[in-house]
Amino acid sequence: MAEPDGVVITGLGLVLPHGVGLRAADAVFAGTSAVRRLPEIRGVPDAAGAAVRDFTPPVGTENADRATQFAVAAADEARLGARLGENGPPPNRIATILSLSKGGVFALARCAAGRINGDFLAAATPDAAARTVAARFGLTGPLGSPMTACASGGHALLWGATLVARGVVDAAIVGAAEASLHPLILGSYRRMGVLAPPGEDPATSVRPFSATRRGFAVGEGAGVLVLESGASAARRGTKPLAVVRGWAAGCHAAGMTDMEEGGPTLARLIGEALRRAGARPDEVDYVHAHGTATAANDLAEAQAIRAALGAASDKISLSSTKASHGHLLGAAAAVELVLTVLAIERRLVPPTANLTDPDPAIRLDCTPLRARPRPIRCAVKIASGFGGQMLALVLAKPGVPAAR
């Protein structure tokens, strides 16, 4: 594990259903939902989700899958924000770890329809975004594309942070993208029973931690972060936005949607991440939950948080932003990590939108409806994926010392 401030975040990029760029996060902090009906999704009656509207593909990506286009747009913004192209590390000292958890869904669909050529096949592979970004920036360091379902974006950061912490590279462009508003994906999730019925107003249908929660809505977008060693950022005079203090990963591989009663594995991972981060439970100010708004996930996650943090749970702020931007599946953790860094920067906890009737069994402060001003020393981001993959990441405000 790196020394304190050994792995820092110096750049952020974002594509949300609300818009392209970090400015789109303002809508999330305002609790605005982008979930709406999607009549263009044929074959799935009354389909709803959070689609990116009026998106212009970055120059040079016109033949790429939509998810890769999102990844490139977010990577362009993150690299520019980090000033990585000015006096950054040499190309062989920068890793590219970007995930498309399902590959290029729309490119894959075209291949399945018999319209196969080299471009479509290359666009459909899970490493398409990583390859495209590395080529765009002329990077020759390690390249990877973790696929751990809805935890993929978190594992991308974990993988990149490990490479930086071990000195394999000086910097890493990490994150994930998702563009899966396709009948195959939506139909599958509907059959699994995890999608919220859109009702009269789809914008209010996703209700994490609510007593009446009934599932999530699929969203699309991308989140990208630039990680650097503290030494590299200091050499370049780049101010860190946050510090990646610690992490832990594990699994409960019992089934696609099964949740452990009480969340013991997740509780262990939160505790392990905090120990590695040198952070006490009472130093955690904010937990950005996975918060899918399914009955089993939200309760098990809340129980795990309380088990891991003990009495300190009564003082934390908790929220899930999926009611605002939808569940971005493989990109969820990456997008929510970007939002967590912004929360630390803004000293503002994003709200859990639509939370008008909190479930009394949750027993945590879930920041209902409105963002809350709060200085954030340490934040924990939880990510989980179908199939039992899960992890916990600890981010800290720059300058906050490790307790031990």
- Asked, colleague to colleague, whether 7-236 and 245-396 share their fold, the answer is yes
What CA–CA distance (Å, rounded) separates 240 from 287? 21
Domain residue limits, the chain: 7-236, 245-396
pLDDT for res 333: 97
Candidates 288, 290, 325, 366; catalytic one: 290
In this structure, whether the domain defined by 245-396 belongs to CATH 3.40.47.10 is answered with: yes
Identify the bridge partners of residue 176 per DSSP, sorted by sequence position: 99, 223
Active site (annotated) includes residue 290: yes
Q: Has residue 6 got a pLDDT over 90?
A: no
Average pLDDT over residues 288-317: 96
Candidates 150, 288, 325, 366; catalytic one: 150
Residue with tokens 């605005």, as numbered in its chain: 32
Candidates 3.40.50.300, 3.40.47.10, 3.30.930.10, 3.20.20.140; correct CATH number of 7-236?
Answer: 3.40.47.10
Instruction: Report residue 400's pLDDT band, with 50, 70 and 90 as the boundaries.
Output: confident
Active site (annotated) includes residue 252: no
CB of 100 closer than 8 Å to CB of 129: yes
pLDDT for res 175: 98
Q: Please count the CA atoms within 13 angstroms of the CA of 3 that sit on its side-chain side.
A: 4
CB of 136 closer than 8 Å to CB of 85: no
pLDDT for res 118: 58
Average pLDDT over residues 59-71: 94
* Residue 365, amino acid: D
Average pLDDT over residues 315-339: 98
pLDDT for res 4: 39
Average pLDDT over residues 395-404: 81
For the chain, how big is the Rg over CA atoms in Å?
A: 19
Q: Has residue 293 got a pLDDT over 50?
A: yes
Candidates 155, 182, 252, 327; catalytic one: 327
Q: CB neighbours (10 Å) of residue 109?
A: 16
CB of 365 closer than 8 Å to CB of 287: no
Instruction: Report residue 354's pLDDT band, with 50, 70 and 90 as the boundaries.
Output: very high
Q: What is the mean pLDDT of the chain?
A: 93
Average pLDDT over residues 267-282: 96
What CA–CA distance (Å, rounded) separates 351 from 32? 10
Instruction: Report residue 401's pLDDT band, with 50, 70 and 90 as the boundaries.
Output: confident
Average pLDDT over residues 69-85: 97
* Residue 331, amino acid: A
What CA–CA distance (Å, rounded) separates 167 from 171? 9
- Give helix 295-309 / helix 264-277 axis angle, nearest 10°: 40
For the ranges 10-14, 20-24, 104-108, 209-213, which has the lowest average pLDDT? 104-108
Q: Has residue 259 got a pLDDT over 90?
A: no
Q: Has residue 316 got a pLDDT over 90?
A: yes
What CA–CA distance (Å, rounded) separates 277 from 313? 18
CB of 328 closer than 8 Å to CB of 178: yes
Q: Has residue 29 got a pLDDT over 60?
A: yes
Active site (annotated) includes residue 150: yes
Structure tokens at 387: 């199939």
pLDDT for res 2: 39
Q: Has residue 292 got a pLDDT over 70?
A: yes
Work out the burial of residue 382: count CB atoms within 10 Å of its CB; fewer than 13 is exposed, 13-18 middle, 19 or more buried: buried
Q: Has residue 112 got a pLDDT over 50?
A: yes
Q: Has residue 117 got a pLDDT over 80?
A: no
Q: Please count the CA atoms within 13 angstroms of the CA of 329 that sit on its side-chain side.
A: 26
For the ranges 261-265, 288-292, 311-315, which has the lowest average pLDDT? 261-265
Percent of the chain with pLDDT over 70: 94
Pairing outcome for strands 171-178 and 143-144: unpaired
Average pLDDT over residues 187-207: 94
Average pLDDT over residues 98-103: 90
